[in-house]
Each structure stands twice: as C-alpha cells, then as structure tokens.
Structure 1
Amino acid sequence: MFATPLGDSATLEPLEPWHAEEFLAHMDRGRDYIGRHVGLPDATPDLPAARAWLQSYADKAASDTGRLYGIRLDGVLVGGVLFRVFDAAAGTCEAGCWLEPSAVGRGLVTRAVRLLIDWAIEERGIHRVEWQVSSENTPSINVAKRLGMSRDGVLRANHPYRGVRQDTEVWSVLAPEWRAARGTAQGD
C-alpha cells in the first residue's frame, strides 16, 4: 500500500518508525558501504537509535520540514531517499539518498529522486532543490549529473566526518530548469 513503482520490481514507499527492525537489518547489510560517505550508519547503530532516527523524520513530515522514503527491490528494503531539509515558505529543499551494495547500479536512486523532485516542484512549489555530497562520493555526484543539476560550488573542508575534514559539493536544480528539461510548463 502507498507504493510508487520505480520499475524493475522496485518501489518507493514511506519509511516510518514502525519499520525500525527492518531498517536496522538493512543498515546492518550495508553499514560499511553506506558509511563510506554518509553518517546514517553511525547514527543508527542499534534498534532504539534506528527507531529514533525514523521518528525524527516522521516528526519532520508532520511539521512539513522533511520527508523519508524507502526503496524496496522485490519487497526488500535496500535504500532510501529523503528531503533532509524542506522549507516550503522559502521554496528550497535538500534531497539525499543511500543504497546498500546489492542494489547499486540499477538506477534506483536516480528514478526515486526524480519522483521527489517532480513532487517538490510541481506539487509543493519548491523553486530550488539542492544535493549536498562529499567530493569523494562519485556515485552520488553522478546522480546529481543524471538529474541535470548544476554544480554550484565546493564547501572546502567544511565537514568533519569520522575524524577527517571533507569537502562538500553543492549541486542544485531550479524549477524552471527542471521543467525545461522535463518538457513541462508550469500548470501543465
């Protein structure tokens, strides 16, 4: 219920606190891979932390400041996409993702984020969608490129991650650019 097909036996579905056990099992399967560039595995080391993290996004959804969705492949949770930040009043948001190794290379994140951006721009009136990514995270940078985002710049050594300062690239797409690339006009 409430699943959006992504093709190839994959779906995009809400990810909620009651999914905590399944979410933790998913994190455990992909912890090392996901954790190379994303702090999510560190933030969810056990069931109470996983439940709390999922609850934080349920709270964000309730306050209209974020959203969280799971990517399922053949019914198994293999990744997710989210609006880490969602500010409807300002017309800006930040999208993000993660994926366990078993689902890499299938285009799932690109397809899922495309749906999120469509919804944000066309349904919610968002003007700017950002994608912030470690300069070392080539797969995520490639997603931004496939989505037609522009590289706005690099925040040099701005984020300490596991004891090492990393650079963060900021990519974005504006509503008029998104619509032009998708061949849609506002209101169509």
Structure 2
Amino acid sequence: MLFRPLTERASLHPLEPWQAAEFAAFVDRARPHLAPWLPWARSITDEAQAHAFLQRYADAQARDAGRIYGIRLDGVLVGGTLFRVFTAASGVCEIGVWLMPDVQGQGLVTRAVEAMIDWAVRERGMSRVEWLTVPANERSQAVARRLGMRRDGVLRQAFPLGDERHDVEVWSLLATEWSGSAPAHR
C-alpha cells in the first residue's frame, strides 16, 4: 500500500525519513492538539528528532513490524496513521491515528483506517486489528465504532504520559468480522 486516494482532495501515503522537515513542521503546528494524547508530539521538536522517528518506522517496515502514513488534504500534511504494532507471525496489528482539528469531521481518519484494515486483513492475513485510546478521547472511540470495532476492555493506568498514568481502552476487530468496509460505509 504505497498510496491510496481517500477523497477527491485527500490521500494516504507513506511517511519516510526524507520527509522529516515537513513532518517536524507538522508536529510543531499540531503540538497543542496532539500532545495530550501522543508522547511523540511532545518529544519531536526539530527535524533531527522527526527524522529519527520516521527512520524507526522505516526500519520497522523493513522488518515487517510497522508502517507509518501521512494524510494529505490538497497536498498538505494534515494527519497520519500507523501500524504501531504489526506482528505478522501472530496475525495481530495495532493502528494509531492523528489529525489536525480543523480537518476533523470529513471522514479522513475513518477512510484511511478502513484502507489499512482492508490491506492488513486481505493482503497480509491479519486475524486481529487493535485500536487503543484513552477513555477521554471520544472522537477516537467514535471512529472505532464506525469501523465496526468492539470495546474489549480497559487497561488501568497502562499509559504513562508526562507525569500521569492514563487508562487505555482496547478496541478490536477480527478478520472474520471484516467485510471490506466499515459498517457506516456499507
């Protein structure tokens, strides 16, 4: 999956280390919105750190252990998705997402994750796709529901961020439950 149109104006594409300057600029713009949810939104403060982050995913992809993608709207990086965990041997992967607040509500994340799930299940034979979120992130929970995921439970204080520990909700979708599109798009 190298490139996927999401709408007439939006696309999903790989994020690679050579795009570190653009990614660093995006993180700088998005930091106030993303920092409450994502540790890397706090730690990536320059191009070198952005390059190291993207290189970790390039290395993970080379090992078939993860991937990272950007969401572009009219050619501008406005968000992204990733396979934070991708374990082909066990057939389990975890998808994560982020998006600028001014482009939320357009279905970009749902379409992007739908494409990722379809690829993971149909092309790679994944049995289980996971989605983790903190209980306060209602938008993330709504996406999980739209994709047909089920809430498996809560891992109490499993996510350290800054000086706090947060609960984590675990949502999942099994390959046997996937028909190729989210229930809302069927």
Q: TM-score range by the shorter chain?
A: over 0.9
Partner SS, residue 7 of structure 1:
coil
Superposed counterparts of 1:1-188, under 5 Å: 2-179=2-179
Deviation of 1:3 (Å): 2.9
Matched residues in 1 for 2:178 and 2:43: separation?
Answer: 33
Counterpart of 1:186? none
Measure how far apart 1:137 and its partner are.
Answer: 1.0
Please report the RMSD computed on the Cα atoms of aligned residues, expressed in angstroms. Answer: 1.5
Shift of 1:54: 0.3
| Alpha carbons of structure 1 residues 81 and 181: separation in structure 2 relative to 1, 3 Å | closer
Q: Is the contact between residue 57 and residue 66 of structure 1 (CA under 8 Å) also seen in structure 2?
A: yes
Instruction: Label 1:101 to 1:65 Cα distance change in 2 as closer, same or farther (>3 A).
Output: same
Q: Decide whether aligned partners of structure 1 residues 40 and 103 sit closer, same or farther in structure 2, where only a CA change above 3 A counts.
A: farther
Contact 1:84–1:96 (CA under 8 A) maintained in structure 2: yes
TM-score for the superposition, normalised by structure 2: 0.94
Sequence identity of aligned pairs in percent? 54
Unaligned runs of 5+ in 2: none
Which has the larger displacement, 170-179 or 158-167? 158-167
1:35 is displaced (CA, Å) by 1.2
Residues 43 and 53, structure 1, Cα contact 8 Å, conserved in 2: no
Q: For the structure 1 residues 164 and 125, does the alpha-carbon distance in structure 2 shift closer, same or farther, using more than 3 Å as the test? A: same
Q: Which amino acid aligns with 2:136?
A: E
TM-aligned CA deviation for residue 104 of structure 1:
1.3
* SS, match of residue 49 in structure 1: helix
Question: Number of aligned pairs?
Answer: 182
Query: Per-residue CA shift, 1:18-72, capped at 9, x if unaligned?
Result: 0000001111111110112121211311111100000000001000000111000
Q: Structure 1 residue 181: deviation in Å?
A: 6.7
Moved more, 121-130 or 37-46: 37-46
Q: Deviations over 1:7-27 (max 9, x none)?
A: 040000010000000001111
Q: Is the 8 A contact 2:14 2:69 kept in 1?
A: yes
Structure 1 unpaired stretches of 5+: 184-188
* Paired AA for residue 144 in structure 2: A
Amino acid at match of 2:179: R
- Please identify runs of 4+ aligned residues in structure 1 that moved more than 3 A: 180-183
Residue 64 of structure 1 aligns to a residue in which SS? coil
Partners of 2:105 and 2:38 in 1: CA distance: 18
CA distance in 2, matches of 1:161, 1:40: 10
